[in-house]
Amino acid sequence: MAGFLPSLETFAKGTLATAATLSTVGAGLLYYGQNYLIYPSAFPPGSRTEDVPVPSAYNLPYEDLELKTSDGITLRCYMLPQSKQLSKTHTAATPVPGEDDQSEDEFITSRPTVVMFHGNGGNHGHRIPLAKVFYLRMRCNVLMVSYRGYGLSEGSPSEKGLQIDAQTALDYLTSNPYFSKTPIILYGQSIGGAVSIDLASRNPSKIAALILENTFTSLPSLVPHALPLLGPFSFLCHQKWDSASKVPLIPATTPILMLSGVADELVPKEHMRALWEVVARRGETKTAGGVEFSKGLERAKYMEFELGGHNDTCVQPGYWTAVADFVAELGDKQPEQSETKL
């Protein structure tokens, strides 16, 4: 298990900017300048030029994937398609029963596809250690999305722009002859969780499941917690990412795993708990006698990690076991809804 966990040193480049950015989100409320502070794509230095790690540096095969958005922006992403040869070439790769009896194409289509939406700091290359866990341990196809204005992708980031980017990534998968046959799982950290929720709310029949870590109910609602003195000016935040209003649009049959760091110093744990309450209510039906839950519809799980901060929840004991179990159980049709504290 230890071999799958990303080291804090390796992961630091991608997470350092999150702390620097959210701690200054109040300054971002200056209406015309907030995009530059909410989306610090050039920090740490080099994140838009030479410091864009590639999967091959981690001994992972991959394809450079260029996606053209509907508004003409080129996104330069990474695609890691599965291969049954991994069991023979990577000692860390988990064997899949029956893989030797399948062709390469059949094996790709038999595995889930994870779409990774990262936090607001650094670039997608800084999250390769996380992709490695999905790729080798869970044997998933992995699409690492590079938002506009991040990494080597063109353009400038914004809420509308990232929404287009996410839709472009999903459209690529659903139009691909192989990935379109796979269950599509969205994995979002921090603002990437908001991107995931938004995408799933607009494509309810195309998403098999969501995994959300340390995300928020909305950006304006985060301001009073992060910077209490600027709370009265939160209305100036035009980058909304209003996840709380979008979760009800995701079907109650769509499994959701929520992973919350109780010690998160940037996004208070109350945000994840509030989102969990909305997630848990997806199966509500109104009756003459009040409210009752539609039995058998809710498939969600909420987990808290007592020592998890905003940037290190993903290395807490039990995190990846929970993710791996969730991915493995997606084929289970039995309803599951529980709350766990670690």
Q: Is 190 a catalytic residue?
A: yes
Q: Does the active-site annotation cover 198? A: no
Catalytic residue among 41, 198, 234, 264: 264
Q: What is the 3-class SS of 28-55, one letter each residue?
A: HHCCCCHHHHHCCCCCCCCCCCCCCCCH
* Number of neighbouring beta carbons within 10 Å of residue 112: 21
Q: CA 191 to CA 248: how far, in whole Å?
A: 18
41, 190, 218, 221: the catalytic one is: 190
DSSP H stretches of helix in the chain: 8-22, 34-38, 86-89, 104-110, 128-132, 159-175, 191-202, 219-226, 243-246, 269-280, 319-328
Q: 70: closest CA among 168, 172, 159, 195?
A: 168
Neighbours of 286 (CB within 10 A): 8
For residues 325 and 193, give the distance between their C-alpha atoms in angstroms, rounded to a whole number: 20
Determine whether 260 is an active site residue: no
- Which residue of the set 47, 83, 310, 312 is catalytic? 310
Closest by Cα among 282, 309, 275 to 193: 275
Give how far Cα 59 sits from Cα of 49, 80, 86, 90, 114, Å: 22, 12, 11, 9, 19
The residues carrying an active-site annotation are 190, 264, 310
